[in-house]
Amino acid sequence: MDKSLPTQLFTVRLWQESCKEAADFRAKVQHVLSGETRYFSDPLKMVTFMLAKYQDQEEERLVLPED
């Protein structure tokens, strides 16, 4: 059994879009293993997405049979 800690790999692009009132947060997150890409304007939703991918992997790791 692999005793290393589970990891996930993401590419993250952050930028600001300016409007008359203020600059808005924008992000593009790509989960490298699945290729799934999401765009965000809310930092909390971005982190929630990334944590969900991490937790999905952890659940799969616990379910997989040992060699």
Query: Could you tell me the CA-to-CA distances from 13 to 2, 22, 27, 34 in Å, in that order?
Result: 31, 20, 5, 17
Over residues 1-45, the pLDDT tens digits come to 456 667 889 999 999 988 777 779 999 999 998 999 999 999 999
Residue 66 vs residue 50, higher pLDDT: 50
In angstroms, how far is the first alpha carbon of the chain from the final one?
Answer: 7
Say if pTM beats, i.e. exceeds, 0.75: no
